[in-house]
Amino acid sequence: LVRGGFVGVDVFFVISGYLISSIVLHGLDGARFSFASFYARRARRLFPSLAVVAASVLAAGWFVLLPQNFAALGREAAAGAGFVANLLFWREAGYFDAASDTKPLLHLWSLGIEEQFYLLWPLLLYSLRRVPVARGFVVGALALASFGADLALTPHAPAAAFYSPATRFWELLVGCVLALPATASFGARHPAAAAPRRRDRRHAAVISLIGFALVVASALLISADQPFPGWRACAPVLGAALIVAAGPDAPVNRTLLSSRPLVGIGRISFQLYLWHWPLLVGARVLGGGDPSAASRSIAVAIAVVLAVATYRWIDLPIRDARSRARTKTLAACVALLVVGGAGHLVDRADGVPSRFPPAVRAVAAFRYDYAPEYREGTCFLRPEQGPSAYRGCTDASAPAGAPDVYLWGDSHAAHLYPGLRAGAEGRFRLTQMTASSCPPLLDYEDHGRPHCKALNDYAFAQIVAARPQLLILAARWDLYPWRGLAATLERLRAVGVRDIVVVGPVPRWRDGLPTALYRHFADDPLHRLPSRMIDAANDVAIRLDEQLRALVEAEHVRYASAIHALCDADGCLVRSGDAADSLTAWDDSHLTVAGSRALVTRASLLGLGVGP
């Protein structure tokens, strides 16, 4: 119901920056700050619970994850233990990256950014301890620089903007700004104690209500399909800042946020943060698809129970520094180091495939390098590439006078290229113009996918100039306003393109075909490798196939049903031979070379028609 619940991270960054900066500044101004004590407290606060959760997730992954997924989990655990998870996910981000809801430790990206900030921030404040007046200028300049980088990167490099510390530090720095006046300028003992004396109650009430409204509106109105953070992050960040600035006597703070239930949640918030996401991912992995509302509710309830237990029996005893503080700090560091090392070993061991019988290992070991087959970067363009990046996309080996065949669309067009290339055999001159997340729909614009309109305008101009004997359009249609295809087909026919084929949706596999095959092995007592399988994920593709066929044929254009070509009453084709590399798909829907050839042949995509 709350589409933008992820803005809670941005709210947290503000609170964290305010709280930790208040502690550091209070210690510096009183000449009582110790780096060793500061980082020891951070270790006792974070390391034990993090080690317990990461170790538990690794142990569960041993039993339920395929080697490839288990190796990825090992990388996540190692990166999380080293507080660089955000850098790992930034590096891995891309069009074909695994879905976020299949990564059990994805949420540790925010913890990485926070700890990267606190590795540097106390050092900077310490260097300014003799010139407290300069603190505000330095903090303000850094916050503006970080915010500027965020605004610049979000439209063009969303993964970098989301995961980079440089584009997220401004959110923590906003909290730091709130801590500065009460410590440096006003000389108060504690910011929270000074706030009511600087503002009358009416003023505090107004800004707290505005702040609360901004946070709630952000959670309700912002969604994951919008570019984020960028300017949209201003609302939750400003809302959190206003709530904090209002002080403890503001109505929202005094009544709602100080209520016992919310204070209780606050006490276990770190442990709840650690547990909730792995359990939600686990519900999806074990259920083989999107978990129901009931399953998600049960997962959250279990997370609360585990959070309370972890807080009570792990966090509190170790965080208590009244006895054996050094021993507890060392134990916390060693525990996290062991878990991180275990994750690294799992990654280096390729997910320990020896856990499975040989038949499963053959499927689990399957790897597919789509980039050379799809011609990524030259004829299958990445999101940051514009039309000028197309290079060598027309087959130069075809003889003079060979019919021109043009392929236009997104990745679901690019995965047809290997099959078309094999089927052409020099008889056709094949041109590929494909780009990730960019459907062959004229006038289609997506602000989260730059260059798409320019790419389609370029492709249309090339098609008009070439007048190919055959034009093939393909896309992951369910992601786009596919009913707009009718207008594109009309314009193509109007400029003289006579033979057009629209390729319908391909079979879908929950969590990817290799994982679906693993589930089949687990459920089949004979551990047989099927040639066809039925997957509930195909229900959507089948319905769309029927609707799309009706639209395309109404425009007097040929329609190629991938569902009819690859599926029958026994299910959809999963392999074309006995070897692992004969699998027809390598993820949830993208075809391998074997799958591409099977579809091109079975659907007769290179059979030139007579046109309307």
Look at residue 112 in the predicted model and tell me its pLDDT.
Answer: 97
Q: Which two tokens stand for residue 570?
A: 């026994």
What DSSP string runs through 424-454? HTTSSEEEEEEETT--S-TT---TTSTTHHH
Distances 292 to 283, 295, 297, 298, 304 between C-alpha atoms, Å: 9, 5, 9, 10, 19
Mean pLDDT per 10-residue segment, the chain (612 residues): 92 96 90 92 96 98 88 97 96 74 94 96 92 88 96 91 97 95 43 49 91 97 91 97 93 93 96 97 82 92 98 92 87 97 96 81 79 96 94 87 94 97 89 96 86 96 95 96 95 94 94 82 66 83 95 95 94 82 90 96 79 40
Rounded CA separation 468/446 (Å): 28
Look at residue 97 in the predicted model and tell me its pLDDT.
Answer: 64
Alpha-carbon torsion (139, 141, 142, 146), positive or negative: positive
Look at residue 91 in the predicted model and tell me its pLDDT.
Answer: 92
Look at residue 333 in the predicted model and tell me its pLDDT.
Answer: 97
Rounded CA separation 489/475 (Å): 14
Which residues, including other chains, have CB under 8 Å from residue 211's CB and lie 6 or more apart? 238, 239, 240, 241, 242, 243, 244, 245, 246, 252
Rounded CA separation 507/167 (Å): 39
Which residues, including other chains, have CB under 8 Å from residue 313's CB and lie 6 or more apart? none
Angle, helix 67-81 to helix 108-127, in steps of 10 degrees? 20
In three-state secondary structure terms, 473 is strand
Q: What is the largest CA-CA distance in the chain?
A: 87
How does 399-438 read in b/e, with b if 16+ C-beta sit within 10 Å? eeebbbbbbbbbbbbbbbbbbbbebbeeebbbbbbbbbbb
Look at residue 81 in the predicted model and tell me its pLDDT.
Answer: 97
Which DSSP state fits 268? T
Rounded CA separation 268/189 (Å): 27
Look at residue 194 in the predicted model and tell me its pLDDT.
Answer: 46
User: What Rg do the C-alpha atoms of the chain give, in angstroms?
Assistant: 28
Distances 108 to 103, 272, 273, 342, 367 between C-alpha atoms, Å: 10, 13, 9, 17, 27
Look at residue 78 in the predicted model and tell me its pLDDT.
Answer: 98
Residue 117: name the closest of 18, 255, 213 by CA.
Answer: 18
In three-state secondary structure terms, 496 is coil
Residue 113: Cβ-neighbour burial (10 angstroms; 0-12, 13-18, 19+): buried
Please check whether residue 403 is in contact with residue 428, taking contact to mean a CB–CB distance below 8 angstroms. yes
How does 116-155 read in b/e, with b if 16+ C-beta sit within 10 Å? bbbeebbeebeebeeebeebbebbeebbeebbebbbebbe
Which residues, including other chains, have CB under 8 Å from residue 210's CB and lie 6 or more apart? 239, 242
Rounded CA separation 211/207 (Å): 6
Report which secondary-structure segment, H or E, holds 593: helix 593-602
**Segment 453-458 long-range contacts (CB within 8 Å, at least 24 positions apart):** 454/386, 454/387, 455/381, 455/386, 455/387, 457/387, 458/387, 458/390, 458/433
Residue 13: Cβ-neighbour burial (10 angstroms; 0-12, 13-18, 19+): buried
Q: Report the relative pairing of strands 532-533 and 571-573 from DSSP bridges.
A: antiparallel
Residue 379: name the closest of 355, 352, 414, 344 by CA.
Answer: 414
Look at residue 64 in the predicted model and tell me its pLDDT.
Answer: 84
Please give the model's pTM, rounded to 2 decimal places: 0.76
Residue 4: Cβ-neighbour burial (10 angstroms; 0-12, 13-18, 19+): buried
What DSSP string runs through 318-370? HH--SS-HHHHHHHHHHHHHHHHHHHHHHHHTTT-GGGS-HHHHHHHT----H
Rounded CA separation 593/415 (Å): 8
Rounded CA separation 41/38 (Å): 5
